[in-house]
């Protein structure tokens, strides 16, 4: 750990500067780390290089957006060409149609598409659309689900779940949101008997909530309950879209939602979000068909800008035949097992969780089925583990899950395993 301080002196100075202009010294608190973050100057393939010249194998991968790794040549070439032709037309252009067609071809439940600039925006407009379509106000979300900072969904993310996740959320914004337990269909069923919902929003794999896949039976039953209730089932596939399968979690679990929210990978490394679903629902965003007050607004200055569309198209075309995703999923299965073996050899109670190319470790002997178990685990040990890895050239954002990308090679994974092994030796010495 001490050598992190020795090796990152320029980062330390940048952090001192940053503290004057950013609350908490960072542009987004999720990127905060102790004692201070390193500052990146270059990213290529599986590696980040910081301002002091240190190299890190990156398993955070741009908030899981970069499934091909940093700056993949296939995307970079096309983006550079597009930039020469314009970065932001503010008019209609062919690329937006082509990317929407490509997304609709790959995502089973997607017939029509609208682009946004972030996952948060896409979720926000999806909720509005669901309310417009169903003419209901109440919505439901699952415990531990993270859907971005939109008021109505910024509840019950991290325990204690009954404590506001942020100040500034009004009672008015909260009163129409009901929180349902994750992976507990009996309790969900009871709650759904009591209310009529416009939408039930779920991450098929809890991301920020601990990298916990929904049980397939849970998702299937949730699908049925939503149909009975008349609620739209919304999959937030901002992380799982184009990662678990070419058609995302809905293809992987074989459960179709009514509406799907996309983001991250879809942008090919540029800011993006998308709302997708069947024509019957999506057309509520068409003011030529639905006049006020029925019309459901969506829009934004940079929506479908040609740079994001170019990058996204190159990304989806690279993933379309499924080879990269299948390979990553197989590697993920193997790597989670190998990580679990490392902890087991030292008789440490650690749950290695995840699915496909996503992984996480929780320091507990309890089976991890929901966010409560994640927060009952030893979070301090997890923080020490991730700090140890970072100080030794393997970057996982503190206490967050990790993701494999196509740019990671065997040596990168071996380094994660060997540094984990080294950490477990230190841990044994200290405890």
Ligand X SMILES: Cc1ncc(COP(=O)(O)O)c(C=O)c1O
Task: Catalog residues that contact ligand X under the rule CB under 6 A.
Answer: 63, 118-120, 123, 146-148, 203, 207, 236, 238-239, 263, 273
Instruction: Give 405's contacts (C-beta < 8 A, 6+ positions apart).
Output: 46, 61, 66, 67, 68, 69, 328, 357
Give the 3-state secondary structure of residue 272: coil
Q: How far is the CB of 261 from ligand X (least distance, A)?
A: 7
- For ligand X, which is the closer residue by CB, 239 or 350? 239
Minimum CB distance to ligand X smaller for 62 or for 72: 62
C-alpha dihedral sign at 100, 283, 218, 363: positive
What's the rounded Cα separation, in Å, for the pair 240 and 328? 13
Q: Please say which residue, 120 or 183, places its beta carbon nearer to ligand X.
A: 120
Which residue has the CB atom at the shortest distance from ligand X?
A: 119
Nearer to ligand X, 25 or 204 (CB): 204
Compute the least distance from the CB of residue 85 to ligand X, in Å.
26
d(CA 216, CA 166): 32
Cα 220 from chain centroid (whole Å): 22
What is the smallest separation between the CB atom of 239 and ligand X, expressed in angstroms?
Answer: 5
d(CA 153, CA 93): 33
* Residues with Cβ within 8 Å of residue 330, at least 6 apart in sequence: none
Nearest approach in angstroms of CB 118 to ligand X is 3
Which of 73, 299 has the CB closer to ligand X?
Answer: 299
Q: What's the min distance (Å) between Cβ of 142 and ligand X? A: 11
Provide the strand spans (E) within 100-238. Answer: 112-116, 139-142, 177-180, 199-202, 205-206, 212-213, 232-236
Minimum CB distance to ligand X smaller for 141 or for 381: 141
CB of 177 to ligand X, least distance (A): 15
């Amino acid at each position: 750990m001490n050598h992190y301080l020795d090796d990152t002196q320029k980062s330390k100075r940048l952090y001192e500067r940053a503290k004057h202009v950013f609350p908490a010294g960072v542009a987004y608190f999720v990127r905060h780390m102790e004692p201070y973050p390193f500052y990146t100057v270059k990213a290529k393939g599986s590696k980040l290089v910081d301002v002091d010249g240190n190299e890190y194998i990156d398993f955070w991968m741009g908030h899981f957006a970069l499934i091909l790794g940093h700056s993949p040549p296939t995307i970079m070439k096309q983006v550079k060409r597009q930039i020469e032709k314009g970065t932001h037309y503010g008019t209609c252009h062919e690329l937006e149609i082509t990317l929407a067609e490509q997304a609709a071809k790959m995502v089973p439940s997607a017939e029509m598409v609208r682009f946004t600039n972030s996952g948060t925006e896409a979720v926000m407009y999806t909720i509005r659309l669901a309310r417009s379509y169903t003419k209901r106000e109440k919505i439901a979300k699952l415990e531990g689900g993270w859907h971005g900072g939109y008021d109505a969904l910024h509840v019950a993310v991290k325990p204690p779940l009954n404590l506001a996740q942020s100040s500034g959320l009004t009672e008015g914004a909260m009163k129409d949101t009901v929180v349902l337990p994750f992976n507990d269909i009996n309790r969900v069923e009871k709650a759904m008997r009591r209310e009529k919902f416009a939408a039930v929003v779920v991450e098929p794999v809890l991301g920020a909530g601990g990298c916990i896949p929904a049980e397939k039976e849970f998702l299937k039953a949730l699908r049925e309950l939503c149909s009975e209730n008349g609620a739209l089932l919304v999959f937030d596939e901002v992380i799982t879209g184009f990662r678990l399968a070419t058609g995302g979690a809905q293809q992987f679990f074989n459960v179709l939602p009514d509406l799907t929210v996309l983001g991250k990978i879809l942008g090919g490394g540029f800011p993006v979000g998308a709302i997708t679903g069947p024509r019957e629902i999506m057309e509520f965003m068409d003011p030529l068909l639905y006049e006020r007050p029925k019309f459901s607004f969506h829009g934004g200055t940079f929506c479908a800008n040609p740079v994001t569309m170019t990058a996204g198209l190159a990304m989806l075309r690279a993933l379309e035949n499924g080879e990269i995703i299948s390979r990553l999923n197989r590697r993920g299965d193997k790597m989670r097992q190998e990580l679990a073996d490392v902890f087991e050899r030292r008789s440490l109670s650690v749950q290695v969780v995840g699915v496909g190319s996503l992984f996480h470790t929780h320091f507990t002997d309890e089976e991890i089925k929901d966010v409560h178990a994640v927060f009952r685990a030893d979070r301090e040990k997890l923080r020490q583990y991730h700090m140890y890895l970072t100080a030794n050239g393997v970057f996982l954002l503190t206490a967050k899950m990790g993701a494999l990308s196509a740019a990671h090679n065997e040596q990168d994974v071996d380094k994660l395993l060997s540094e984990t092994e080294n950490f477990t030796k230190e841990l044994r010495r200290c405890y």
